[in-house]
Amino acid sequence: MDVPDENADSAGLLRGQVAVVTGASGGIGLAIARQLAAAGADVVIHGRTRSVVAEEAAKNVRKLGRNAKVVLRDLADSLSQQELVQTAWDWQGHVSAWINAAGVDVLTGEASKWPFEKRLAALWEIDVAATIGLSRLAGARMKAAGSGAIVNIGWDQAEQGMAGDSGEMFAAVKGAVMAFTRSLAQSLAPQVRVNCLAPGWIRTAWGENASPYWQERACRESLRGRWGTPEDVAQAALFLVSPQADFITGQVLCVNGGFRFGQGGERLSS
């Protein structure tokens, strides 16, 4: 994965700011951390256990001339959530942007073989409960400081629905995150902006090894006719935490290349 060009148009957009990205040791979180650093932010890189990958991400941030701090915590633990927030603020005394990109991968590896109930519980613990806990903790500090931006991660199909175990799980989990985002934006207004990104078919670990059926479907269901990339999501995250989005809060922004519906407004069937 290429590091964003520090001379791109976004360079300097976040200069002097500190951003925290959870789940930054891979996938979408890693791409967001790199993008925010390229825009001038110093970045707290959170990971759970992948210290080598997290340190490599920090190294890339430093190559862009920014500071980076790695913090490893299991977000299933509420005490660890509090420690992450405290450590982030202690680092440079303030945090301007908080991105909750941490999530459980239940589509690949050993977790893909877990029973439905276990996968749902794991998703709920990290994707929902940890997002809520961290957003409230960080949001309270930002509100007291008078400014800040929070971005959560939803799913573009949560409100339309998708058949199957994965569709049911992710619709419930990411739908909850999207609903929570809208409410937290009202709680923290006007000082703090809270928005949610709803990615569509993004080529992360699962997408790279998906079957021909899913490869075709991902392209067919996007008006752009291709998979999205973690960098596509990262660009949107940068926009939402930047001054350019100062009048945007309580919104869910789909990053899916435009969703293609069948005739009569029905979803394309599998």
Residue 252, CA distances (Å) to 35, 83, 118, 130 in order: 20, 28, 28, 19
> What distance in Å separates the CA atoms of residue 44 and residue 81, rounded to the nearest whole number?
14
Task: Tell me the pLDDT tens digit for each residue of 167-203.
Answer: 999 999 999 999 999 999 999 999 999 999 999 998 8
> What distance in Å separates the CA atoms of residue 194 and residue 140, rounded to the nearest whole number?
12
What is the Cα Rg of the chain in Å? 18
Residue 6 backbone phi and psi in degrees, to 5: -70, -15
Average pLDDT over residues 235-251: 98
Identity of the residue numbered 251:
Q
DSSP strands (E only) in 104-250: 148-153, 192-199
Task: Tell me the pLDDT tens digit for each residue of 152-166.
Answer: 999 999 988 889 999
> What distance in Å separates the CA atoms of residue 107 and residue 209, rounded to the nearest whole number?
11
Residue 194 per-residue DSSP state: E
Query: What is the DSSP annotation of 139-151?
Result: HHHHHHHT-EEEE
End-to-end CA distance of the chain: 31
CB-CB contact of 191 with 146 (8 Å): yes
Task: Tell me the pLDDT tens digit for each residue of 93-136.
Answer: 999 999 999 999 888 889 999 999 999 999 999 999 999 999 99
3-state DSSP assignment of residue 50: coil
Omega prior to 190 cis, within 30 of 0: yes
Residue 143, CA distances (Å) to 96, 240, 250, 257 in order: 11, 17, 15, 33
- Show the domains of the chain with their CATH numbers: 18-256 (3.40.50.720)
Global confidence as pTM: 0.90
Q: Which residue has the tokens 């509420």?
A: 78
